[in-house]
Amino acid sequence: MTTTQVAVIGGGPGGYAAAFLAADLGMQVTLIDESADPGGVCLYRGCMPSKALLHVAKVLTEAREAAAWGVDFGAPALDLDRLRAWKDGVVGRLTGGLGQLSTRRGVTFLRGRAALGGPTTVRVTRPDQGPVDLQFEYAILATGSRPALPASLSLGGDRVWDSTRALELPSVPASLLVVGGGYIGLELGSVYAALGSAVTVVEMTSEL
């Protein structure tokens, strides 16, 4: 059985920050996550791909507004395949950078799904190798959260998406209903509006 002082389960902003700090303080640290590098939902399927697409939305909006200034760029030609590849490249560079920071700090990174086996043990089921049993002195659980989905909606089709699916840019629909006026819904609504969708946002409270 492999041993470590600190086992950190979850490689998102909470997990990798805790792992880096523990390593900086001289502890032996193992960071466990299902993705290829640390980063979590924020880097892989949240704020970073969203910010990349918001940059594109800003460029498109400013190009349209420039016509009023006497500068006409013409109608944009969207290539969704290239846009997806550019967005994925941004995410890949950021997550790869975190992987390099882990290595430089001496943090051992295990890719896989962790399951606690007792008060001091965890089993990591890896996607391409056998499971690893790890004994630890301390554990930090930073597994994050998952979106709350209405029971009446079924995901997986072409018409109902969650935020992760929307960030994959499967298409630019003629119209898009965004349920939820928080920052995630508004960011995605802004992106699709700039790309050409007619966007409606529905929010339960009186303000966005």
Hey, is 110 helix, strand or coil?
Answer: strand
Question: What integer pLDDT is reported at residue 205 of this predicted model?
Answer: 93
Tell me which residue of 54, 42, 59 sits closest to 94, measured CA to CA: 42
Question: What integer pLDDT is reported at residue 157 of this predicted model?
Answer: 73
Q: Return per-residue pLDDT of the chain as tens, 208 residues.
A: 899 999 999 999 999 999 999 999 999 999 999 998 899 888 888 889 999 999 999 999 999 999 899 998 888 889 999 999 999 999 989 888 998 999 999 999 999 999 999 999 999 999 988 899 999 999 999 998 877 777 777 776 788 899 999 999 999 999 999 999 999 999 999 999 999 999 999 999 999 9
Question: What integer pLDDT is reported at residue 29 of this predicted model?
Answer: 98
Question: What integer pLDDT is reported at residue 7 of this predicted model?
Answer: 98
Gap between the Cα atoms of 78 and 178, Å rounded: 22
Q: Is the dihedral of CA 50, 56, 59, 60 positive or negative?
A: negative
Gap between the Cα atoms of 35 and 87, Å rounded: 17
Residues 109, 31 contacting (CB under 8 angstroms): yes
Sorted by where each starts, the structural domains of the chain and their CATH numbers stand as 2-141 (3.50.50.60), 151-202 (3.50.50.60)
pLDDT tens digits, residue range 46-70? 889 999 999 999 999 999 999 899 9
Question: What integer pLDDT is reported at residue 41 of this predicted model?
Answer: 87
Question: What integer pLDDT is reported at residue 154 of this predicted model?
Answer: 75
Residue 166: C-alpha distances to residues 53, 145, 177, 184 (Å): 11, 18, 12, 11
Question: What integer pLDDT is reported at residue 53 of this predicted model?
Answer: 96
